[in-house]
Amino acid sequence: MSAVVVVGAQWGDEGKGKVIDFLSEQADVVVRHQGGNNAGHTVVVNDQEFKLHLVPSGILYPDTLCVIANGVVIDPKVLLEELAYLNNRGVDTRRLRISSKAHVVMPYHAKLDAVNEDRRGDQKIGTTLRGIGPAYMDKAARVGIRIGDLLHPEEFRERLARVLEEKNHILSRAYGVEPFAFDDLYTTFLDYGQALKPYVADTAIIINDAIDRGERVLFEGAQGTMLDIDHGTYPFVTSSHPSAGGASIGAGVGPTKIDRVYGVAKAYTTRVGDGPFPTELTDAVGDDIRERGHEYGTTTGRARRVGWLDAVVLRHAVRINGLSGLAVTRLDVLDGLKELKIATAYEYEGRPLTEFPDSAWVFRDAQPVYETLPGWDESIGTIRRLEDLPTNAKNYLKRIEAVVGVPVVLVSVGRERSSTIPLRELF
């Protein structure tokens, strides 16, 4: 097995960073292929916490090549800060490669993100305000600036002049916001280009060559299936394709080269940002899970909305991604709860609904149909073998497999790299 994609099966923050770090021990190459620094991936090794936004979570292994591929949108300032942060903590980042085709998140994108959200009022998406949507809009509108452009002063000058004129027009005329000065942006981003130059490469060649040599390549999804611009809860989604197909386009790797896709899911559900969430718990049980799980966003610090596990969402993730299995994280957070619920279907206008509806308003008004299972009293954080888990924890996992329809391939019982129970060979 040489190419494995890991995606979020819910609304992001499932613990992809932790799972990728765990699998990276066996990987030769780890690739980020979509999203930008809206992502926040946490890795904990020997009590040391690393928060990564753009750099792949394989970076903590000294021999793993890490790639930021064409499908990612890069804020160069954030990336350079992240590299400095890693270097200061003793992590060697020279094994990073950045696609010349990745689009650049410019300061006017973040500004537009903010004014767009303001204008939406109570229909706001609750974006991370990192400029991600506007950067992907410019990519699709064919006025984006790519990392490679920053290395060509004359071409960059021309492209920036053209696009900035339009952005300043919109910002000042429509929103009364101060326009951006061309010279400042131009020189700052030329400097960023020079700082990133040693890392810039044609990453599709690097990744395909690695696969052809039989090396193990791991694709690190950001966000989650329910935030996919096509397959998620549109319009409350991000502007990229967090589902597995995004790896193919976002890295320039044909679908025939991908061997396995794993979905990461929490043992319950969270969502940060606005939009429908059928199994949301707005009561004391939800507050309890939020506090015991420290459910506050890695990127924005916002409190995450918390709810029961939703098997309808997970079956949708299985279908859209072609999941080979599930990695279930944060099982330890449920320790001590008397009972656990799994939504196995919804009800809409008195009728049963077994699959994720293709209509946003049906999903908004769908009521979960729950199955209740007994919890366990023990603390499971130090357990390293499936057979040592409490019977009710094992039964909960078995029930997840039955209602979702794919095997659980890994269980995570804590933040540490070592708090992981792999259930089969994953590569």
- In the complex, the residues that contact ligand GDP under the rule CB under 6 A are 8, 12-18, 40-42, 44, 298, 329-330, 332-333, 412-415
Contact predicate 15/44, CB 8 Å: no
Q: Which is nearer to Mg ion, 270 or 324 (CB)?
A: 270
- With a CB cutoff of 8 Å and minimum separation 6, the contacts of 40 are 13, 51, 52, 53, 297, 298, 299
Distance CA 217, CA 5 (A): 8
Q: Which is nearer to ligand IMO, 227 or 334 (CB)?
A: 227
Closest to 52 measured CA to CA, from 23, 24, 86 = 86
Site for ligand IMO in 246-275 (CB under 6 A): 272-273
Q: How far is the CB of 296 from ligand GDP (least distance, A)?
A: 9
Question: Within 13 Å and on the Cβ side, how many CA atoms surround 314?
Answer: 34
Closest to 270 measured CA to CA, from 225, 306, 226, 237 = 306
Question: Which tokens sit at 130?
Answer: 């990192």
Q: How far is the CB of 51 from Mg ion (least distance, A)?
A: 9
Contacted by 330, from Mg ion, ligand GDP, ligand IMO, none: CB < 5 to 8 Å by type:
ligand GDP
Question: Which tokens sit at 102?
Answer: 């990745």
Closest to 372 measured CA to CA, from 344, 351, 394, 397 = 344
38 binds ligand IMO (CB under 6 A): yes
Main-chain dihedrals φ then ψ at residue 238, nearest 5 degrees: -95, -175
User: Residue type for 107, please?
Assistant: P
Q: How far is the CB of 286 from ligand IMO (least distance, A)?
A: 17
Q: How far is the CB of 103 from ligand IMO (least distance, A)?
A: 14
Q: Which is nearer to ligand GDP, 15 or 133 (CB)?
A: 15
130 binds ligand IMO (CB under 6 A): yes
241 is catalytic: no
Contacted by 415, from ligand IMO, ligand GDP, Mg ion, none: CB < 5 to 8 Å by type:
ligand GDP
Closest to 296 measured CA to CA, from 124, 37, 8, 42 = 42
User: 21, 28, 33, 41: which one is catalytic?
Assistant: 41
332 binds Mg ion (CB under 5 A): no
Q: Which is nearer to ligand IMO, 133 or 148 (CB)?
A: 133
Q: Which stretch binds Mg ion (CB under 5 A): 123-131, 160-168, 293-301, 349-357?
A: 293-301
64 binds ligand IMO (CB under 6 A): no
225 binds ligand IMO (CB under 6 A): no
Contacted by 126, from Mg ion, ligand IMO, ligand GDP, none: CB < 5 to 8 Å by type:
ligand IMO
Burial class (CB in 10 A: 0-12, 13-18, 19+), 373: middle
Q: Which is nearer to Mg ion, 40 or 286 (CB)?
A: 40
Contact predicate 233/226, CB 8 Å: yes
Q: How many chain residues are in contact with Mg ion, going by CB under 5 A?
A: 3
Contacted by 333, from ligand IMO, ligand GDP, Mg ion, none: CB < 5 to 8 Å by type:
ligand GDP
CA angle (35 as vertex; 30, 40 as ends), nearest 5: 75
223 binds Mg ion (CB under 5 A): no
Candidate list 128, 203, 225, 324; residue touching ligand IMO; CB under 6 A: 128
The 8 Å CB, 24+ separation contacts for 81-86 are 82/52, 82/53, 82/54, 82/55, 83/55, 86/50, 86/55, 86/59
Distance CA 81, CA 93 (A): 12
310 binds Mg ion (CB under 5 A): no
- With a CB cutoff of 8 Å and minimum separation 6, the contacts of 105 are 36, 37, 73, 74, 75, 78, 130, 131, 132, 135
118 is catalytic: no
Site for Mg ion in 7-46 (CB under 5 A): 13, 40
Kindly give the pairing relationship between strand 305-307 and strand 48-52. Answer: unpaired
12 binds ligand IMO (CB under 6 A): yes
Residues lying near Mg ion in the complex (CB under 5 A) are found at 13, 40, 298
Residues lying near ligand IMO in the complex (CB under 6 A) are found at 8, 11-13, 38-41, 125-128, 130, 132-133, 222-224, 227, 238-239, 272-273, 298
Query: Which residue numbers are catalytic?
Result: 13, 41
